[in-house]
Chains A and B, each alone.
Chain A
């Protein structure tokens, strides 16, 4: 087929060609013209008007009734034209918002960046993926002056921008704490006060904080209503749920967070996660915690980082590569 070069003013020619021959070529031309009209923001009423004018130029004897009918059609197109213009404006706005979000997400990444510490005899693996552009999960590692490691893991109920803004606050609050002197319970108690003062009560933030002392293998932890992690005992080959007490951050200004302690032995493993992991959905089904454990068990022979990545890939695939909630998984292996 010959290439058809379409100009806007060829509407009339194409119309005439079609009326005379019913040629498919003319209809193909009409398709191209309509696309070029859309690109130029030409509204339906203008096209109907062009149509009327073309017909009048071709036929002197157009029946008055037909012409009136076409005027009527033109009138009904006005609102469609407006809807089209509105759509174009909204699309531009959406592009603007998208690019703003992209910048914000980049800023968040820089702001929340953390380096996984290298600790003798302890492997640390981390995967944290946002469901949308902005991440409502937060994790952070702190290395203290005496070599102890602080591990923070938080989750804002909800996702997107509000959650991300909350996370920035947590990050700043953490930065302003005198890190060396504080155990998990004190840190949570402090953050709770900050959150209670600054965050809307409808916003829930759960948080898990742990401190690990490499010299003694002691693992201290407290939790503010956070999804319980798992402790794998290498000797008995059993998983234990890390049950904790402690209110979600920001509910009341004065609350205490009990501190718990384990000593990590050779072959033990700790799994910390957010509910984006345990509330993975496939179809209409929620994953049970037992199923999560099964997946973890399948991959626990791997080094910690590889294991975390494999577990993430498994759930990503289970959800058809479309995460519904922010997903963070931290694996500590000795």
Chain B
């Protein structure tokens, strides 16, 4: 496993920084244009959640190199208010920011693996993995 890289999310511009770093790592790993764009969009979604609801948090990137496959793991963690009803935010059509087709269900669709842990009052950790095919 390679050393971690991360971007702190405080301002809206940090979302752009996270996208850029994530895309660069993805490109170096060998992801094609479409997957790069999907990974960047997934990063946007989870980074925007931090920016909108948690004020302070970070997006960390890890490259995974196993025997037969490589991948990129994105971890978004914050110390924000947390999510009370995860099932609800994972439901299609439910977004508080009035978005369409995106939100956390969108991240799940854009990536290959998705996990979320959240505790009210403590914060949220979203983990998503995209495998190189």
Q: Which residues of A are in contact with B by a Cβ distance under 8 Å?
A: 45-46, 49, 52, 71, 74-75, 78-80, 82-87, 89-90, 93
Contact = CB atoms under 8 A, between A and B. Distances in A.
A78 B38 contact: yes
A75 B100 CA distance: 16
B58 to A, nearest CB: 23
A89 B34 CA distance: 22
B122 interface: no
B88 interface: no
Nearest to B109: A85
Given A82-B106, A90-B92, A49 B100 contact: no
Contacts of B106: 79, 82, 86
Most buried by A among B34, B38, B41, B106: B34
Interface of B: 32-34, 37-38, 40-41, 92-93, 100-102, 105-106, 109-110
Nearest to A48: B34
A86 B101 CA distance: 6
Contact of B105 (A49, A78, A86): A86
Contacts of B93: 86, 90
Contact of A45 (B34, B92, B102): B34
A176 B133 CA distance: 65
B9 to A, nearest CB: 20
B37 A78 contact: yes
A78 B33 contact: no
A254 to B, nearest CB: 41
Given A79-B106, A82-B106, 16 more contacts: A45-B37, A52-B33, A75-B37, A75-B40, A78-B37, A79-B41, A79-B101, A80-B101, A82-B41, A83-B101, A84-B101, A85-B101, A86-B92, A86-B100, A90-B92, A90-B93
